[in-house]
């Protein structure tokens, strides 16, 4: 029976975003604070996903062996290192989160049946790499607080209460929304980046966090005057807002995940064929409710 197992590891390391062919001013303009000497550090968390058939002992692989391989090929070499000098690959392509994940894949692929390498630089930034040449995924997370009322404008209070229950109460209720935005792109062979991270963060701030934070969505966001602001519709609207600005930065919006509460979240996956119109239902959300 096919199965995927995951192994967690971690290492602490520092790095610097600096290209010697650029001047100091050019490096600062391109990489901002990341260019500062002598660099900065992170507590990296690594997840290795492996696929295979269950053997007679109920295992895909012996995880003790997997642990040994990861330590020997990756963490023992990177822990407490300066990444720019730790591996020769980082002389050619800078050790960004997405490029570190790519090179880790290359180091482990001869030894393990990989399906994904996921690397967290910190809890609000991580990369996924699946072995597809220079293609990678980068995710940033943020949050905003807002109130909403679930009530269709064409239905009576009684009808809305029957559909939405307590969520249809006239004065609404609020959430601390957690938002994850995942982009997909090609790793630049020199900078190691699929997108300008500072620019991506600013797009999400400008298009979502600033206009949505501390609002009553039904009243303060015109789109939701006629559209019920369920978690699914909010995520769908956010995906439409972000798609074009992210494309202008050279990447593709891949996924928007909105966590409304610990028990309620949804994900919108975006494809190239979808419309960028905010009023068009471009995808069916994958909804998780507990």
Contacts of 15 (CB under 8 A, 6+ apart): 39, 40, 41, 42, 82, 83, 84, 90, 94, 95
- Choose the catalytic residue: 167, 178, 205, 274: 167
Q: Interior CA angle at 192 toward 188 and 198, to 5°?
A: 100
SS3 153: coil
Cα four-point dihedral sign 179, 41, 202, 17: negative
Residue 214 is a catalytic residue: yes
Q: How far is 276 from 259, CA to CA, in rounded Å?
A: 23
**Catalytic residue (choose from 121, 260, 266, 267):** 260
| Stretch (H or E) spanning 44 | strand 40-53
| Residue whose C-alpha is closest to residue 224's, from 289, 152, 143 | 152
Give the C-alpha separation, 270 to 276, whole Å. Answer: 10
The H or E element that residue 143 is part of is strand 135-148
Q: Which residues does 60 contact at the CB level (< 8 Å), separation at least 6?
A: 3, 4, 5, 50, 51, 52, 53, 54, 113
The vertex-197 CA angle with 221 and 208, nearest 5°, equals 5
Q: Is 21 tagged catalytic?
A: no
Q: Return the closest-CA partner of residue 150 out of 181, 118, 172, 134.
A: 172
Q: Which of 26, 122, 214, 226 is catalytic?
A: 214
Is 167 annotated as catalytic? yes
Per-residue buried b or exposed e for 95-125, using 16+ beta carbons within 10 Å of the residue's own CB: bbbbbbbbbbbebbeeebebebbbbbbeeeb
Catalytic residues: 167, 214, 260
């Amino acid at each position: 029976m096919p199965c995927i197992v995951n192994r967690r590891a971690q290492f602490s390391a520092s790095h610097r975003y600096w290209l010697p062919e650029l001047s100091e001013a050019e490096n600062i303009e391109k990489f901002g604070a990341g260019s500062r000497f002598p660099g900065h550090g992170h507590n990296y968390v690594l997840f290795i996903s492996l696929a295979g058939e269950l053997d007679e002992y109920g295992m895909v692989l012996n995880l003790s062996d997997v642990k040994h391989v990861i330590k020997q090929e990756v963490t023992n070499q990177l822990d407490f290192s300066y990444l720019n000098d730790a591996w020769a690959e980082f002389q050619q392509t800078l050790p960004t989160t997405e490029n570190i994940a790519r090179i880790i894949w290359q180091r482990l692929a001869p030894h393990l049946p990989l399906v994904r390498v996921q690397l967290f630089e910190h809890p609000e930034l991580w990369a996924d790499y699946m072995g597809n040449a220079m293609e990678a995924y980068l995710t940033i997370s943020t949050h905003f607080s807002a109130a909403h009322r679930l009530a269709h404008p064409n239905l009576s209070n009684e009808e809305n209460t029957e559909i939405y229950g307590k969520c249809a109460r006239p004065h609404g209720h609020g959430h601390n929304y957690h938002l994850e935005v995942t982009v997909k792109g090609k790793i630049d062979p020199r900078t190691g980046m699929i997108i300008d991270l500072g620019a991506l963060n600013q797009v999400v701030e400008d298009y979502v966090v600033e206009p949505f934070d501390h609002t009553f969505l039904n009243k303060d966001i015109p789109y939701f005057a006629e559209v019920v602001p369920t978690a699914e519709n909010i995520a769908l609207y956010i995906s439409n807002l972000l798609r074009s600005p992210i494309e202008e930065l050279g990447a593709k919006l891949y996924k928007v995940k909105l966590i409304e509460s610990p028990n309620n979240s949804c994900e919108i996956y975006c494809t190239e064929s979808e419309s960028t119109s905010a009023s068009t239902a471009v995808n069916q959300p994958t909804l998780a409710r507990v």
